[in-house]
Amino acid sequence: MRRREEWEMLKLRRGRYAARLAGGQEDVDAALALRSRCFRGGQQEDRDEFDGVCRQVLVEDTRSRRLVCTFRLLPLSRGSEIGRSYSAQYYELSGLQEFDGPMVEMGRFCIDPEVKDPDILRVAWGAMTGFVEAEGVEMLFGCSSFKGTGAEDYMDAFALLTERHLAPGRWLPRVKAPNVFRFAQKLRRKPDARRAMLGMPPLLRTYLLMGGWVSDHAVVDRDLDTLHVFTGLEIRAIPPARKRLLRALAGPA
């Protein structure tokens, strides 16, 4: 796909927010600066080798031109390429190598912590939906992060994931990282659903509402000070009502 076509695919405006593909180094630098604030407290730059092969997406406040959200995309033609993904560093994904359809990894998703507006997440998902529809993507995946590395803060959330949202056996990621919390093995408690959803990261909540699933363990990532779970969403499994809503977000304003 030519760069101009990608640019047009990922342009979306809703209300005061607009999403677009990074257009040059200045945009990439702005995305990295926001990531640094969100993931590293502004103490060091958040950059890795995947930034050279991913496309950065920006969501901006059109009134102030402030960058309020960013994420990156890594398209894969089929499951046999999943070893190229960021997630494959932390999860053994041999089951997903059999997935026979286009995939895209969404990574480093973050929203400016000083801006509290649910429309930001809606616009980001609208832009992602436009990409998925245009490219015929059949699976969206990535790592969904809980802030901090203390699992005790999220016991109800992990219990709910165990009870309702584990990956199908054929796709289930296996343990690869040296430090993990095997919540599906360790938790046999009935979750408090309200407390569980309050503890879920917003991105993960959205995945789950659309029929997404997770690994049976969380990786303890001390570099980014997070716990993260592998998260997958098979596009054909999205409930029809949710799919209509996402298409409405991605359509003309």
Please determine, for residue 9, whether its predicted confidence score (pLDDT) is greater than 80. Answer: no
CATH of domain 3-250: 3.40.630.30
Helices 118-135 & 202-209 angle (0-180, nearest 10): 50
Which pLDDT tens digit goes with each residue over 19-32?
999 989 999 999 99
Q: Is 241 exposed, middle or buried (0-12, 13-18, 19+ CB in 10 A)?
A: exposed
Confidence band (pLDDT; 50, 70, 90) for 2?
A: very low
Residue 48 pLDDT class (50, 70, 90 cuts): very high
How many Cα atoms occupy the beta-carbon half-sphere of 245 within 13 Å?
11
The residue-averaged pLDDT of 114-142 equals: 92
pLDDT, residue 252, reads: 59
pLDDT in the model for residue 249: 66
| Region 169-187 average pLDDT | 97
Give the H or E element holding residue 107. strand 103-111
User: Is residue 217 within 8 Å of 128, Cβ to Cβ?
Assistant: no
Domain ranges of the chain: 3-250
Task: Please give the average per-residue pLDDT across 207-227, as a whole number.
Answer: 96
